[in-house]
Chains A and B, each alone.
Chain A
Amino acid sequence: MASSTSQSNAKRHTLSVLVENRPGVLARIAGLFARRSFNIDSLTVSPTERPEISRLTVTAHVEQEPLEQIIKQLNKLLHVLKIVELDPDTTVERELVLIKVAADVQNRSDVLELVRMFRAHVIDVNTESLTIEATGSQGKIDALMDLLQHYGVIELVRSGAVAVTRGPKALSDKVVGSEITGR
């Protein structure tokens, strides 16, 4: 999932997919990406403000044509309710990363300086390490990770992106009624 496609005109796209919260939905969607040989960068699933609906956020580096095809294929899955490609200009997007850095007495203060600059948090301290929690856009997280690399990263875990549009509207507004709970 981590590798991105190295196509010429590939741009980063973020899709928000509303699905019925039902068993096996993620398997169907992940399987669809795999068999249409569609490389994704990240995928996040979470519940939404409506318990019967889950929301997937997918990011991928792709050209326009394969993207359109995969959106159409996703739309054919019956459990998929709504797909929107989020416009980066009107979207707030965040990722979360936990990094365990090899920081000892000698360079701990240097690392803490970085943590402060990036408005990240230290969530665990040890004589040999610091664990840092950071949230932000992909670019900010990448920059922080580049800088921390220098001190030695012991362990790293990073979430996929989650994103919402700016303004008062919800994506699920477009999914009418409580039809789904009828089951």
Chain B
Amino acid sequence: MARPTPLQAFSGVPKGTAQNDETPANGEKMTGAQALVRALEDLGVKDVFGIPGGAILPVYDAIKEDTKFRFVLARHEQAAGHAAEGYAVATGRCGVCIVTSGPAATNLVTAIADANMDSIPMIAITGQVGVNAIGTDAFQEADTVGITYPVTKHSYLVTSAQDVPRVVAEAYYIATTGRPGPVVIDLTKTAQTGEMYYTWPQRLVLPGYNPTTEAHGRMLENAAKLFTQSFRPVLYVGGGATRSHASKQIKELADLTGAPVVTTLNARGIIPDSDPKMLGMLGMHGTVAATGAVQRCDLLVAIGARFDDRVTGKLSAFAPTARVIHIDIDPAEIGKNRSVDVPIVGDVATVLDALIPEIRKAQNEYGIHDLKPWWDALNKFRTDYPMSYDRPEDQPTDGTLSPQWVVSQLSKSADPNTIWVSGVGQHQMWASQLVDFEKPNHWISSGGLGTMGYGLPAALGAMVGSQRDHDGSYPVWLIDGDGSFQMTSEELAAATIDGVPVKVAILNNSVYGMVRQWQTLFYGQHYSATILHDGEPDADDAPGESGYVNVPDFVKLAEAYGCVGLRATTKEEALDAIKKANEINDRTVVIDFRVWKDAMVWPMVPAGASNDTVAYREGVHPLDNSEKASEETLSSEGF
């Protein structure tokens, strides 16, 4: 056997290693493509998303009537990826998508990056040209593994059919354990068509992968002691707690310590919004109570959260008086942005199960501080600065609907089992602020990467999950924006043809609302390239200044795809449309709500500014009364 050379480290394709020397004595003879399908079946994968193409055809040929998983055909590879993400979040299982080489793989990169940022378990299988064609600029060839290095947890280039089941088993294990994330399997045509001997289960060979799940005992003691010393504790809960299914433990910890809970965007619903300890989301568009709690606390307990800039604002001014306990399964997150007093590496649920008895012990030993003054201050924030949009300046001036009112109505009338999905933009913030979240894993949104167009395909994936786990009885409501929706609206075809009915509320303000909000506040109301002409308030009567009306007409678009399209311009129409949409469960419903384009997301911390400058409304700064706060605009560090 030729020895691999050190410089092989440069090359994408193994050379010289005689991989097929040993003939497995047993195992069923089949092709690599068949082995891929069989391995997915043996892993218990039930639903797969994707689009076929030249370099992945053998795999699609191996998907047959009796294949044990359902295949859902997307209309764009990015959407196939987002659908797999939505499915993964809704079900807690690994999302799987299969696409072809080259452009399909590059289309999928956005979804892979999104899954990487939000730690979503996903296996992305891409076709690749034959081994001998690699590096020749062959038709539809792209260096998928090379392109995706920075945005995956791990990736494989499979050159031999015999490797297929082991690689699939390893990929699944890597994607779903430790800090979850996307794993790419780039499957050469050589590996798909080659013959191999299939055996299951496979022995995983992962010497460099040992995620820590259990906490170090000493650290737990230290953390418990800090709890007993604190007068103003806060639990800052992030998406890691959702991924770890730790809502029971979070609730128990909050009840035991009396500490308030604030969450990031991804952890909305980790404990019910109706729980009195829940202060809501913190950060750039968080509640005053949540942001205020973190800024004033003396003990910050970060649980599966990563101190993102949208949460911290100006890092040096974030929670300035707090000691920090950081619980995270990824050691690299600890100390990355904020130095930590007690680092705890481990799975959130496992760590909290071990931490809670330690705290109880410490409380017995050292006693419990009275948190009443702390709660008095927080409750004052809550009553003085509630998360509502009832003030006069929040009301539309052009006769359109208030988008925040629409979201509140959607939340009020929806089935309690509803899975909420959003795109990215103003509507996403309103949804996270105003939807009443009572259950974990019922909120699906692109947090870290902020991918516009995430909504519809993710909703599709979530509904496939609902159909799998709940017989479709958990409805899926997508709250989307007109800009975000247009990025992936082609997936209405998949929703109709594959029988995946979702409910879509488009908050149509005819502009890129979030960008417009920044232009209003920080760029002198110069509305550069943010006007969309897809929902002018007077669109039904006469064309506006541009001469364009309703491009596109979302009602007609929905109907063109075989969906139900509704338009709502008044409150009566809106309530009526919501009622109809809640009653229709066999087809996708799209509601075009015409909303006010100058509606704002409040509260707001300008990007890069200290959280202390949070504005409840323009000029109202609850945490900092000095004049400096209102002068705070976008800093040069802000993005």
Residues of A at the B interface (CB closer than 8 Å) are 19-28, 31, 35, 45-47, 51, 54, 65, 68-69, 72-73, 75-81, 175, 177, 179-180, 182-183
Chain A residues, Cβ within 8 Å of B6? 21, 45-47, 54
Tell me if B11 is interfacial: C-beta within 8 Å of chain A.
yes
Find out whether the CB atom of A77 lies under 8 angstroms from the CB atom of B208: yes
Min CB distance, A73 to chain B, in Å? 5
Interchain CB contact (< 8 A) of A24 among B5, B157, B207? B157
Interchain CB contact (< 8 A) of A78 among B5, B10, B150, B206? B206
Given contacts A21-B4, A78-B208, A180-B207, contact A69 B335 (CB under 8 A): yes
Assembled-state Cα–Cα distance A81/B209 (Å): 8
Q: Which residue of A lies closest to B183 (CB)?
A: A78
Chain B residues, Cβ within 8 Å of A19? 9, 208
Find out whether the CB atom of A26 lies under 8 angstroms from the CB atom of B10: yes
User: What 3 A-B pairs are tightest by C-beta distance, nearest first?
Assistant: A26-B9, A72-B332, A179-B207
Q: Which residue of B lies closest to A71 (CB)?
A: B332
Min CB distance, A61 to chain B, in Å? 21
Min CB distance, A58 to chain B, in Å? 14
Interface string of B173-214 (1 = CB under 8 A from A): 010000000000000000000000000000101111100000
Assembled-state Cα–Cα distance A73/B333 (Å): 9
Assembled-state Cα–Cα distance A180/B6 (Å): 16
Chain B residues, Cβ within 8 Å of A77? 208
Find out whether the CB atom of A27 lies under 8 angstroms from the CB atom of B4: no
Chain A residues, Cβ within 8 Å of B14? 22-23
Chain A residues, Cβ within 8 Å of B331? 72, 75
Assembled-state Cα–Cα distance A26/B2 (Å): 20
Min CB distance, A3 to chain B, in Å? 22
Chain A residues, Cβ within 8 Å of B208? 19-20, 77-81
Tell me if B146 is interfacial: C-beta within 8 Å of chain A.
yes
Find out whether the CB atom of B207 lies under 8 angstroms from the CB atom of A51: no
Find out whether the CB atom of A69 lies under 8 angstroms from the CB atom of B174: no
Given contacts A68-B335, A69-B336, A78-B174, contact A23 B207 (CB under 8 A): no
Tell me if B8 is interfacial: C-beta within 8 Å of chain A.
yes
Tell me if B149 is interfacial: C-beta within 8 Å of chain A.
yes
Given contacts A76-B332, A78-B208, contact A35 B9 (CB under 8 A): no
Tell me if B330 is interfacial: C-beta within 8 Å of chain A.
yes
Chain A residues, Cβ within 8 Å of B9? 19, 21-27, 45, 54
Assembled-state Cα–Cα distance A54/B149 (Å): 20
Q: Which residue of B lies closest to A68 (CB)?
A: B335
Assembled-state Cα–Cα distance A47/B336 (Å): 32
Tell me if B317 is interfacial: C-beta within 8 Å of chain A.
no
Assembled-state Cα–Cα distance A175/B150 (Å): 26
Chain A residues, Cβ within 8 Å of B11? 23-24
Assembled-state Cα–Cα distance A168/B13 (Å): 36
Find out whether the CB atom of B4 lies under 8 angstroms from the CB atom of A51: yes
Determine which residue in A24, A31, A77 has the highest number of CB atoms from chain B within 10 A of its CB, and name it. Answer: A24
Min CB distance, B607 to chain A, in Å? 20
Interface string of B145-156 (1 = CB under 8 A from A): 110011001100
Tell me if B64 is interfacial: C-beta within 8 Å of chain A.
no
Chain B residues, Cβ within 8 Å of A31? 149-150
Assembled-state Cα–Cα distance A25/B149 (Å): 10
Given contacts A24-B9, A28-B149, contact A78 B3 (CB under 8 A): no
Tell me if B399 is interfacial: C-beta within 8 Å of chain A.
no
The bracket for how many chain B residues form the interface is 20 to 34
Chain B residues, Cβ within 8 Å of A51? 3-4
Assembled-state Cα–Cα distance A22/B5 (Å): 9
Find out whether the CB atom of B12 lies under 8 angstroms from the CB atom of A24: yes
Min CB distance, A48 to chain B, in Å? 9
Q: Which residue of A lies closest to B207 (CB)?
A: A179
Min CB distance, A75 to chain B, in Å? 7
Chain A residues, Cβ within 8 Å of B3? 51
Name B1-38 residues within 8 Å CB distance of A: 3-14
Chain A residues, Cβ within 8 Å of B5? 47
Assembled-state Cα–Cα distance A73/B163 (Å): 27
Min CB distance, A109 to chain B, in Å? 40
Assembled-state Cα–Cα distance A31/B149 (Å): 8
Assembled-state Cα–Cα distance A77/B4 (Å): 20
Assembled-state Cα–Cα distance A180/B209 (Å): 12
A selection of 20 A-B contacts at a CB cut-off of 8 Å is: A20-B207, A20-B208, A22-B9, A23-B8, A23-B9, A24-B10, A24-B146, A24-B157, A27-B146, A28-B149, A31-B149, A45-B7, A69-B332, A72-B332, A76-B330, A78-B154, A78-B208, A80-B208, A175-B207, A180-B205
Find out whether the CB atom of A27 lies under 8 angstroms from the CB atom of B10: yes
Min CB distance, B126 to chain A, in Å? 15
Min CB distance, A148 to chain B, in Å? 30
Interface string of B317-356 (1 = CB under 8 A from A): 0000000000000111001100000000000000000000
Q: Which residue of B lies closest to A48 (CB)?
A: B6
Q: Which residue of A lies closest to B167 (CB)?
A: A183
Interchain CB contact (< 8 A) of B157 among A23, A65, A175? A23
Assembled-state Cα–Cα distance A175/B207 (Å): 8
Assembled-state Cα–Cα distance A80/B154 (Å): 12
Assembled-state Cα–Cα distance A20/B208 (Å): 8
Q: Which residue of B lies closest to A24 (CB)?
A: B12
Assembled-state Cα–Cα distance A35/B151 (Å): 11
Assembled-state Cα–Cα distance A40/B371 (Å): 50
Chain A residues, Cβ within 8 Å of B174? 78
Assembled-state Cα–Cα distance A26/B166 (Å): 23
Given contacts A23-B8, A24-B9, A27-B149, contact A73 B207 (CB under 8 A): no
Name B26-67 residues within 8 Å CB distance of A: none
Assembled-state Cα–Cα distance A21/B14 (Å): 10
Q: Which residue of A lies closest to B333 (CB)?
A: A72
- Known contacts A19-B9, A22-B14, A54-B9; 5 additional CB pairs below 8 A are A28-B149, A31-B149, A68-B335, A78-B208, A182-B203
Assembled-state Cα–Cα distance A22/B12 (Å): 9
Min CB distance, A83 to chain B, in Å? 11
Chain A residues, Cβ within 8 Å of B12? 23-24, 27
Chain A residues, Cβ within 8 Å of B13? 23
Min CB distance, B128 to chain A, in Å? 14
Assembled-state Cα–Cα distance A45/B207 (Å): 20
Chain B residues, Cβ within 8 Å of A182? 203, 205
Q: Which residue of B lies closest to A26 (CB)?
A: B9
Chain B residues, Cβ within 8 Å of A76? 153, 330, 332
Assembled-state Cα–Cα distance A179/B205 (Å): 6
Q: Which residue of A lies closest to B19 (CB)?
A: A183
Chain A residues, Cβ within 8 Å of B157? 23-24
Assembled-state Cα–Cα distance A56/B446 (Å): 37
Name B542-585 residues within 8 Å CB distance of A: none
Interchain CB contact (< 8 A) of B207 among A35, A46, A47, A81? A81
Q: Which residue of A lies closest to B6 (CB)?
A: A47
Assembled-state Cα–Cα distance A77/B336 (Å): 17
